[in-house]
Structure 1
Amino acid sequence: MAVEESKSKKRRGGLKETLFLIALGVGAALLLQAFVVRSFYIPSESMENTLRIGDRVSVNKLHGASERGDIVVFTGWNGEDTIKRVIAVGGDKVACCDAKKRITVNGIPLDENYLFPDDFPSGEEFSYTVPQGKLWLMGDHRSASVDSRTHVRQAGEWISEDQVIGRAWAIYWPFSHATILSRPEIFDKVR
């Protein structure tokens, strides 16, 4: 009888330990998602070909200040989570277009090799100085993107650095398109 009682106690102890470890794992995953990383689903063609409809990206919520060239998820103009590329930050002068039809930031032309094939840097001319704490954001598929060009021109609505949820750093789904997202070197020459 004592042997059976001992085996029963061991099974209950093993079950309690297993349940504790499962709860600990779920708790750790929830904390990571709440404070460190997040998944974001790409709902539109505005960031093609860099990001395609249906892609899933991993977003670093501890990214620090946004830099030119970062792809960020932010609370958008309509209150929904949105993803775009940071072209200019507070204090920058962003304009379109120079003689070669390129966007310039602080007078430096951007050769944007990440743009959708045969798309153009902008279908409209603009020139703005980005207010401190704000961002100038654009999609990589410019003709399919409603971004800072539209919202600033029509309503003076800028996206604040505080509205940024995180920086997209990797495409993890589908596996055939999985890659690390890096900041284009063209932004290194902008001061």
Structure 2
Amino acid sequence: MTHQTQGESPDPTTEGAATSQDRDAAATPAGEPAASDDALPPGAIPEDTRLPKGKSRWAFTRELVVIVAIALTLSFLVKTFLAQPFYIPSQSMESTLDVGDRIIVSKFTPQHSPLHRGDVIVFEDPKTWGSTPQHSSTLKRAVSDALVFVGVLPGGGEHVVKRIIGMPGDHVKCCTKDGKLTVNGVEITEPYIDQGSVPSTIPFNITVPKDKVWVMGDNRNDSADSRMHDGNSDGKLGSVPMSDITGQVVAIAWPISRIHALKDYSSVFAKVPDPS
């Protein structure tokens, strides 16, 4: 039997083991189990708490449906009360608006703010103008109408875009010896007319009825506007009911190269007096 004599150093192996145990004991707070080799990293989900695959797919589907529903609701609210996109299908407003342009139409006008001469507006095809023929299938048209209704797709189709020339009660006549329009007896110069066009190739002399507006396209040589639908009715058939107006065009939103706010041409009509 071996005895440790005074002055002898303790067994290094024994000392190392004791020191390691002491460290483990010191590193583990009282009342908590010691960390094991199988401990999960911070933030990891234990295997037994993971959702089954079926439930996980259902949760994802439910969240996706909620997100889509919220997006459609917001789009509908914006389209109904604030603004709505439309696309330009024809050349009648060139070169202010080109074919394929996506425009933004403000719903504040005329619902919450008045219209003015020179404003570009979008309106439903008036009944007095005849209906726009539908060439697409019933199903395709129904889907498209639904997407336009909620504001996902830009409108077009049965809507028309023109510029207001005459307000209710205005006397609009064409043309003077210089080939210009007059509104309430005042000759106007129209800088927005497409290059190569003239104010009108069709003479007319009308008074805009109450609650209606007289509209014309900027491409006067290729625009089926109030002139083309009036006949000899003195503005009754060709003028557009204000109740059919969707809103005022405020900007071009697409393509990128053409993004800009529409210019205000109120100065063109600044000298025009109110109708007598």
Same fold (TM over 0.5): yes
Deviations 1:48-89 (A, max 9, x none): 000011111011122123211010011122342100000001
Q: Distance in 2 between matches of 1:74 and 1:187?
A: 22
Shift of 1:177: 1.2
Higher deviation after alignment, 153-162 or 52-61: 153-162
2:162 to 57, 79, 84: 84
Between the aligned partners of 1:129 and 1:5, the Cα distance in structure 2 is 81
Q: Which has the higher strand share?
A: 1
Distance 2:100 2:70 in 1: 31
Paired residues in the alignment total: 189
Deviations 1:19-61 (A, max 9, x none): 6555433311121113321111111111000001111101112
The residue identity in structure 1 corresponding to 2:120 is I
Residue ranges of structure 1 left out of the alignment (5+ in a row)? none
Aligned ranges 1:109-128 → 2 under 5 Å: 109-128=187-206
Higher Cα Rg: structure 1 or 2?
A: 2
Aligned match of 1:167 in 230, 240, 248? 248
Q: Which runs of 5+ in 2 are unaligned?
A: 1-44, 132-157
Which of 263, 267, 274 is equivalent to 1:182?
Answer: 263
Q: Counterparts of 2:211 and 2:67 in 1: how far apart (Å)?
A: 43
Is the counterpart of residue 67 in structure 1 residue 67 in structure 2? no
Greater RCO (CA < 8 Å, at least 6 residues apart)? 1
What whole-Å deviation, never above 9, does each CA across 1:82-116 have from its counterpart, x for those lacking one?
00000001010000112211101111111111111
Given candidates 210, 213, 225, the residue that maps to 1:147 is 225
Q: Out of 166-175 and 145-154, give the one that drifted further.
A: 145-154
Q: TM-score, normalised by structure 2?
A: 0.61
Kindly state the Cα deviation for residue 183 of structure 1 after the two structures are TM-superposed: 2.5
What CA distance in whole angstroms lies between the structure 2 residues aligned with 1:61 and 1:18? 30
The residue aligned with 2:91 is 45
